[in-house]
Structure 1
Amino acid sequence: MTNGIHHVTGITSNVQANVDFYVGFLGLRLVKRTGGYADAEQLHLVYGDGLGSPGSLLTFLVWEAAGRGRTGIGQVSEVALAVPPASLGDWITKALAANIPLDGPSREFGEPVLRLKDPDGLIVKLVGVDMATPAPLSNAPTRLRGVTLLTDKAIETASFLTLFGYTEDRRSGVTQRMGSDTDIVDIREVSGFVPSVSGGGVPDHVAFRARDIDELRSMRLSLKSHGPTEVHDRKYFVSLYVRDPAGILMEYATDGPGMTIDEAPAELGQTLFLPPHDADRAEDLRAMLPQFALPGEERFPARDLPFIHRFNRPQNPDGTTLVLLHGTGGNEADLMPIARRIAPHSALLGVRGRATEEGTNRWFRRLDSTTFDQQDIRGEAEAFAAFVEGAVAGYGLDPDKLVFLGYSNGANMLAAVLQLHPGVVRCAILLRGIQPLEKPPAVDLSDTSVLVLTGHDDAFARNAPALADALMAHGARVDSLELTANHELVAADVTESTEWIRRKLSVHR
């Protein structure tokens, strides 16, 4: 039986900072980038040794701008990586130079340990112990030394780990060390501690090694009386998921087929792969998933602006930028698929509204479906105008090649900005929008072009003409079309928007 840890999966809320830490600082190799197999709208990154060998793998689900989670009972709390004992001094110097939080060195179970924190706050321990890996990298950790588990059922958790080939080793205070042939698991009893909450900096699960599918099947049979299990083909390995008696999510993953099944060893981590069952929306997913740069690659530094935002850049940009404002319940990536179809060569700048309603994102508060908080609209419109100014200056955007596209609540927000801050938005597409302002000001919109697309069967369609009329009354050039549609977006939205942008931007050239 193969034993030991196969990989550890964490959560990051900042993909670029995550890559900079694990590749740029630690020196691990990015061996795979994929859309998540459980949710393809989540980017999944895999780091490891030069070949992505089992036992060297750290993987991260990207929950961009999700915020910090909480480490607590029923979770992995620390990840330990093995480094040559003589290198710890160099790692201290390197961490201090990079302003990375550190603690130590100290000794745990006789081993020298240096604790670091990654950008999300996850504790990464560098342990001075010689451990081999099939494809070592220079000046980088060699492999996983182990993990620390927080549990309020230490005896039961320890007993459960014996199923994966671990045996009791030593104890130090409230920590019981379990050992396999290759690595360790430290079980820390924390009765009365708070439960964990998923988010950035909190590991999702630890996976143990199965030699092949037969070992995995045998494990599932042995767990038949334990409780529910799930088996999933993750392409690079087959996984069995189960929770221990304390609720800690654990995985049993086969060593093969491995990371080189779809990329040559020299090309690992260069291509974005998407799950086969999502092949029909591959282009949409490529538009939605966050982009990043590896160390040494040209990058686009993020600016600190009033709204959470994300860029998607095409391979052959034409200098135009579409600024996207989602509808109720959406986020900064929601409109990127349709925007990419509308403008294949435009940079896409998706922005997230700051208001919330029952946990969903919005652009401003509302009192009912068509009555809005006027003070909140004005405050958020002012903040958005500042965002646009900051984005143009900070990212070097061409104001003459900016097109703003808003859907539903996002269209209403754009309508408010058009009327409250004339000149900030000069070219706008409003999809299923209505007039959000009760007392729109008298402004000059003669330098503004707007496309209003309304659905004939939209419950809010009767409110749309008032918006178009108000904009035209103040000088805006408005093209208003009624489509065979309801409130949802349809193919005609793409066709009409594409043609309208082509006409409008050709005027500015």
Structure 2
Amino acid sequence: MTSGIHHITAITRKIQANVDFYVGFLGLRLVKRTAGFEDADQLHLFYGDAVGSPGSLLTFLAWEDGAPGRVGTGQPAEIALSIRPEAIGFWLTRALTFNMPLSGPAPEFGEPVLRLKDPDGIIVKLVGDAGPLPAPASMAGDIPAEEAVRRIRGATIFSDQPQATAEFIARHFGFRPVAEAGGIRRLVSEAADVLDIRDAGGFWTSAPGTGTIDHVALRAADRAAVERVGAALRAERAGATNMHDRTYFYSLYVREPGGALLEYATDGPGMLVDEMPETLGSTLFVPRHFRTDPHDVRARLPQFGLPGEERMTQRDLPFVHRVHRPEQADGTALVLLHGTGGNETSLLPFGARVAPNATLLSLRGRSTDEGYPRFFRRLTTTTFDQNEIVSEAAALAAFIEEANTAYGLDPDRTVFLGYSNGANMIGATMLLHSGVIRNAVLLRAMNVLENAPEPDLSGARVLMVTGQSDPYGPYAAALETKLSQAGASVDNRLLPAGHDIGPADADLARRFMEKVVR
């Protein structure tokens, strides 16, 4: 019987820091990058050994700038990786060199253990494993083969029903109990992988989010084995089981009695089913079942660089934002502000169609309206929180100045494109902070300022695009008048459309951008 750990999946808030830790520090190889199988707008990275073997795989879902989760009962809580016992000193020195907080080495079940935390706070243990070890997983040139991480050693699960959790895993997944100490029941597979079930009775419950482990996947020989376990789980009414073809493996999901999510995944077809060993991890794969334009998906996913590759470091600025730099950047930039209910990824595919060679900088509004992100609050259908408009316009103006420096943007070759609430924010910022925005595309915009100043917008160029059947369309003329009276050159186009935007808007925006920044 094949048993052991297939992979462990966790959630990260900042993908670049995650890559730097798992590839740059630990020396694992990036073996696969995909869009999420449940959500195409979620980047999913797989790290492992040179060929992405089952038992070596750590995978991460990127919730870029997402809310932190809470570690608690009903959740995997620690990752353990195998190294040779003699390598403990190497990793202690390496962690200190990288200025990385650590504790240990300290013995756990007779093995020396160094405890580290990854950038999201997930505990990663390096375990001196005296058993037979496979070839090293490390691909980092500065890590000698004898010191390298070899495989996943195990995981820790927090359970308020530790006995029931342990018995459930032993009954269905080929693990057996071997020891108990300090409130931990240790289970071992025939591959010598371990699951430590910690008695977490009285702990708070877990909450999903960044910095947490989503699930542990256990190894199945083949699809027939998965289906047999699925039938056994249904027979004992173990709860909902979901089966999925994940391209690289076939698996089921089930929650053990303490609530932690477990996956049971086949060894095959494996990470090499769609890539050669030498190109593993170099191509983004979008699951076919989404039936969406891969270019749109790529535009929405966060970018990152592997160690040694050129990268753009995302700066800590007043607005949550996403930067997308194309392979053939031409020195222009397009800054995107979404409408109500959007976020920093919503307009990225639209922006990529408008300006495929421009650096895209897309913001998330800091206000909310009935739970939806906005750039300022709405009081009624056509009245708005004036104090918030003023304060958020000031914050946006400061953001723009900082972003110009941080990302090397040329104000004369930068266009600001906003839709609905985002367009209104751009218009208000132009009126309140003249000179900060020099080129703007305002889609379905209206004037939102009750007492607008009289700025000097000489030299500013604005394209407004209004929908003929847009219920807010009649309010666009007031904004056009204010901008024109301030000296801006305004072209207001009327399209046979409503409030939604589409290809005709993108075509007008593209021609405007080609005219003003080339």
* TM-score with structure 1 setting the length: 0.97
User: 362, 377, 399: which is aligned to 2:411?
Assistant: 399
In structure 1, which of residues 145, 155, 161 is the aligned counterpart of residue 153 of structure 2?
Answer: 145
Which whole-Å CA distance do the structure 1 matches of 2:136 and 2:90 have between them? Answer: 22
- Per the alignment, in what secondary structure is the counterpart of residue 7 of structure 1? strand
In the alignment, which residue of structure 2 is the partner of 1:50? 50
Match of 1:187 among 182, 189, 197: 197
Q: Is the 8 A contact 1:174 1:188 kept in 2?
A: yes
Q: Give the whole-Å Cα distance in 1 for the aligned partners of 2:275 and 2:250.
A: 18
Give per-residue Cα distances to partners, 1:421-458, cap 9 Å, x unaligned.
01100100111111111110011111211111111222
2:221 to 206, 211, 226: 211
Cα-to-partner distance string for 1:261-306 (whole Å, 9 max, x where unaligned): 1111111101111111234321100111111000011111222211
**Do the aligned partners of 1:406 and 1:429 also contact (CA within 8 Å) in 2?**
yes
Question: Could you tell me which amino acid in structure 1 is paired with residue 402 of structure 2?
Answer: G
C-alpha distance in 1, partners of 2:510/2:14?
A: 32
Look up the equivalent residue of 2:253 and give its one-letter code: Y
Conserved 8 A contact 1:56-1:133? no
Query: Separation in 1 of the partners of 2:223 and 2:452?
Result: 66
Of the three residues 357, 382, 386, the one matched with 1:345 is 357
Partner of 1:288: 300
Q: CA deviation at 1:134?
A: 5.4
CA distance in 2, matches of 1:436, 1:403: 21
| Structure 1 gaps, min length 5 | none
Shift of 1:121: 0.3
Name the amino acid aligned to 2:174.
Answer: G
Q: Does 1:109 align with 2:137?
A: no
Give per-residue Cα distances to partners, 1:315-356, cap 9 Å, x unaligned: 211111000111112111110101111111111111111122
Counterpart-to-counterpart distance in 1, 2:450 and 2:38: 44
Q: Kindly report which structure 2 residues correspond to 1:256-295, keeping only aligned pairs within 5 A, or say none.
A: 256-295=268-307
Q: Which amino acid aligns with 1:142?
A: R
Partner of 1:133: 134
What letter matches 1:288 in structure 2?
R
Cα displacement (A) at 1:101: 1.7
Deviation at 1:140, TM superposition (A): 2.8
Residue 179 of structure 1 aligns with an amino acid whose one-letter code is: V
Does structure 2 retain, via aligned residues, the 8 Å contact 1:112–1:128?
Answer: yes
Aligned to 2:8: 8
Correspondence for 1:121: 121
2:436 aligns with 424
Following superposition, the deviation at residue 469 of structure 1 comes to 1.3
Give the conservation status (yes or no) of the 8 Å contact 2:411–2:437.
no
Measure the CA separation in 2 of the matches of 1:289 and 1:418: 30
Change (3 A) 1:136 1:472: closer
Cα distance between partner residues in 1 of 2:362 and 2:341: 14
Q: Aligned pair in 2 of structure 1 residues 358, 118: CA closer, same or farther (>3 Å)? A: farther
Residue 243 of structure 1 and its aligned partner are, at CA, apart by 0.8
Contact 2:136 2:149 in 1 (8 A): no
Partner of residue 457 from structure 1, selected from 469, 477, 488: 469
Q: Is the 8 A contact 2:248 2:270 kept in 1?
A: yes
Task: Give the superposition deviation at 1:92.
Answer: 1.2
Name the CA distance, whole Å, in 2 between partners of 1:90 and 1:359.
49
- Give the length in aligned residue pairs: 506
CA distance in 1 between counterparts of 2:497 and 2:95 reads 57
Counterpart in 2 of 1:441? Answer: 453
- Of residues 170, 177, 186, the one that matches 2:179 is 170
Q: Tell me, what secondary structure is at the counterpart of 1:87?
A: helix
The Cα offsets for residues 197-237 of structure 1, whole Å up to 9 and x where unpaired, read as: 11111000000001111111111111112221111111111
Distance 1:427 1:394 in 2: 20
Distance 2:459 2:267 in 1: 62
SS in 2 for 1:204: strand
How far apart, CA to CA, are the structure 2 residues paired with 1:97 and 1:356? 43
**Structure 2 residue 252 is matched with structure 1 residue 251:** no
Aligned to 2:208: 198
Query: Greater shift after overlay, 126-135 or 83-92?
Result: 126-135
For 1:104 and 1:356, how far apart are their aligned partners in 2? Answer: 45
Deviation at 1:252, TM superposition (A): 0.4
Instruction: Give SS of 2:213's match.
Output: coil
CA positional deviation for 1:360? 2.4
Q: How does 1:378-393 map to 2 (within 5 A)?
A: 378-393=390-405
Q: Residue 33 of structure 2 contacts residue 44 of structure 2 at CA under 8 Å; is this kept in 1? A: yes
Higher mean Cα deviation, 304-313 or 155-164?
304-313
| 2:480 is aligned with 1:468 | yes
Cα RMSD of the aligned pairs, angstroms, is 1.2
Tell me by how many angstroms 1:310 deviates. Answer: 1.4
CA contact (8 A) 2:29 2:137 kept: no
Deviation at 1:73, TM superposition (A): 0.8
Point out 4+ residue stretches in structure 1 off by more than 6 angstroms.
none
Structure 1 residue matching 2:20: 3-state secondary structure? helix
- How far off its partner does 1:409 sit? 1.0
Partners of 2:77 and 2:157 within 8 A in 1: yes
Any idea what SS the aligned residue of 1:502 has? Answer: helix
Higher mean C-alpha deviation, range 252-261 or range 124-133: 124-133
Partner-residue secondary structure (3-state), 1:39: coil
Q: Decide whether the 8 Å contact of 1:53 with 1:134 is kept in 2.
A: no
Alpha-carbon offset, residue 374 of structure 1: 1.0
Q: Partners of 1:41 and 1:134 in 2: how far apart? A: 35
Percent identity over the alignment is 54
AA of the residue aligned to 2:150: T
Q: State the Cα distance separating 1:365 from its structure 2 match.
A: 2.3
Q: Is the 8 A contact 1:49 1:133 kept in 2?
A: no
Q: CA deviation at 1:43?
A: 0.2
3-state secondary structure, aligned to 1:415: helix
2:92 aligns with 92
CA distance in 1, matches of 2:134, 2:223: 23
- Specify the code of the residue in structure 1 equivalent to 2:314: A
Partner of 1:241: 253
SS at match of 2:379: strand
Q: Deviations over 1:47-97 (max 9, x none)?
A: 001111000100000000113211011100101001111111111111112
2:173 paired with 1:161? no
1:496 aligns with 2:508: yes
Q: For 2:455 and 2:316, how far apart are their aligned partners in 1? A: 30
SS of the residue corresponding to residue 280 of structure 1 reads coil
